[in-house]
């Protein structure tokens, strides 16, 4: 049975998020799981069968109860709780546009406040730690040169791992001014300079793999051993391998949980420590607001204060839910991207 909610969600996921919002596949997937969880909650706690859930049931009372249930019963983090809320607030924006009769309900949903959580300490690699990490790649081998190039590119540009794996030959210009065309969050494009140090590393790699030949312009710049585009998991595995090796030499300067995002933090902190304007750092990292970038400046100030007070050295630079077998709305949600409403 096709309900009004199913019709609304079909437009929300397949048209509104994709075309109007330009949401990334990762965001769409996260929002989809939020609704799967909500449907599960309404069925188990409110005793509303999935096939009878309507748009009217997506209201402020049910959402607030659901969020409380997530925290108390499922023990999710504040971050996860806020992610789920973001999915419903976005749906409320869609309802205002698509179903004007729900404007009052949608406005109430958008008024639900996100919870604040304690800011986690930003951990990052100082330049000496970064040098030790990238030195673990064996540049006498093809894969070693590839890994070395990827790590240097991550650090010298601050791009996200998703932006790295999506780089194509046509996104790289080695003619002056040398730049990368980076496809960021929400399909936003920005241009990132290829500095001389990176050019000296990236240039030979591109020549070795003939990445800039016309026949290769649409292929990924970095491919795994199978000749396919790298995955985020593949990059994480690669970094973990080199971090483990580096920590055998000096565990004090290379964190155990080394990740692409930690390298991104390292880039930002290095620039802050060098006195780079926050606006420039914001544009480089692709932040929407400079407030996000200010986090690094605050960390830098706090660390400098601690360094002075301690007379220490100067600083330089959820799992997918396992749903029981269900039919109807939940199954439809899980297969939403693969089928159309009849």
Torsion of CA 91, 97, 98, 101, to 10 degrees: 100
Q: Which is the catalytic residue, given 84, 89, 145, 160?
A: 160
For residue 341, the model assigns a pLDDT of 45
pLDDT of residue 97: 85
State whether residue 316 is helix, strand or coil.
coil
Q: Strand 189-193 vs strand 172-173: parallel, antiparallel, or unpaired?
A: unpaired
Q: What is the pLDDT of residue 298?
A: 62
The dihedral through the CA atoms of 78, 83, 87, 89 has a sign that is: positive
Catalytic residue selected from 170, 185, 303, 334: 185
Query: What is the per-residue pLDDT for 294?
Result: 67
Query: Among candidates 8, 31, 10, which has minimal Cα distance to 341?
Result: 10
Q: Which of 263, 259, 245 shows the shortest CA–CA distance to 132?
A: 245
Please name the residue ranges forming H helices in 210-328: 232-249, 260-273, 278-285, 290-310
Known active-site residue 264: yes
Residue 259 burial (CB < 10 Å; 0-12/13-18/19+)?
middle
Active-site residue among 15, 244, 261, 305? 261
Q: Which domains does the chain have, with CATH numbers?
A: 4-119+322-338 (no CATH), 127-310 (1.10.443.10)
**261 catalytic per annotation:** yes
Per residue, the 3-state secondary structure of 295-307, as one string, reads HHHHHHHHHHHHH
Cβ atoms of residues 55 and 5 within 8 Å? yes
Q: Which of 227, 253, 256 is nearest to 240 (CA)?
A: 256
pLDDT at 317: 39
Per-residue pLDDT of the chain (342 residues; tens, 9 = 90+): 667 898 999 999 999 999 888 888 889 999 999 999 999 999 999 999 998 999 999 999 999 999 999 999 999 989 899 999 999 999 999 999 888 899 999 999 999 999 886 656 678 899 999 999 999 999 999 999 999 999 999 999 989 999 999 999 999 999 988 999 999 877 788 888 899 999 999 999 999 999 999 999 999 999 998 899 999 999 999 999 999 999 999 999 999 889 999 998 898 888 888 888 877 878 888 776 666 666 666 655 555 445 434 433 333 334 444 444 445 677 767 776 554 444
Peptide bond just before 177 cis, omega within 30 deg:
yes
Given the residues 84, 264, 265, 330, select the one marked as catalytic: 264
Question: Does 160 participate in catalysis according to the annotation?
Answer: yes
pLDDT at 74: 92
């Amino acid at each position: 049975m096709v309900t009004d909610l199913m019709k609304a969600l079909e437009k929300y996921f397949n048209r509104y998020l994709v075309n109007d919002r330009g949401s990334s596949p990762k965001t769409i997937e996260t929002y989809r799981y939020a609704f799967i969880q909500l449907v599960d909650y309404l069925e188990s706690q409110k005793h509303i069968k999935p096939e009878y859930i309507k748009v009217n049931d997506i209201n402020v009372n049910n959402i607030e109860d659901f969020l409380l249930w997530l925290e108390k019963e499922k023990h999710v983090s504040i971050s996860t709780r806020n992610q789920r809320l973001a999915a419903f607030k976005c749906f409320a924006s869609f309802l205002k546009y698509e179903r004007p009769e729900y404007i009052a309900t949608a406005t109430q949903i958008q008024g639900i406040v996100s919870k604040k959580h304690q800011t986690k300490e930003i951990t990052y690699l100082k330049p000496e730690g970064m040098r030790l990490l990238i030195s673990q790649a064996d540049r006498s081998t093809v894969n070693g040169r590839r890994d070395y190039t990827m790590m240097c590119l991550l650090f010298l540009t601050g791009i996200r791992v998703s932006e790295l794996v999506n780089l194509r030959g046509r996104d790289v210009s080695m003619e002056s001014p040398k730049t990368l065309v980076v496809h960021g969050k929400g399909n936003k494009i920005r241009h990132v300079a290829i500095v001389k140090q990176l050019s000296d590393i990236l240039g030979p790699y591109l020549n070795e793999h003939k990445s800039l030949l016309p026949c290769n312009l649409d292929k990924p710049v970095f491919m795994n051993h199978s000749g396919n585009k790298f995955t985020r998991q593949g990059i994480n595995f690669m970094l973990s391998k080199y971090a483990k090796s580096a920590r055998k030499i000096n565990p004090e300067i290379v964190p155990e949980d080394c990740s692409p995002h930690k390298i991104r933090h390292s880039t930002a902190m290095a620039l802050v420590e060098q006195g780079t304007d926050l606006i420039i750092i914001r544009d480089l990292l692709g932040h929407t607001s400079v407030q996000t970038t200010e986090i690094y400046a605050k960390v830098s100030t706090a660390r400098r204060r601690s360094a002075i007070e301690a007379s220490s050295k100067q600083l330089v630079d959820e799992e997918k839910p396992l749903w029981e077998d269900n039919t109807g709305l939940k199954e439809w949600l899980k297969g939403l991207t693969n089928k159309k409403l009849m």
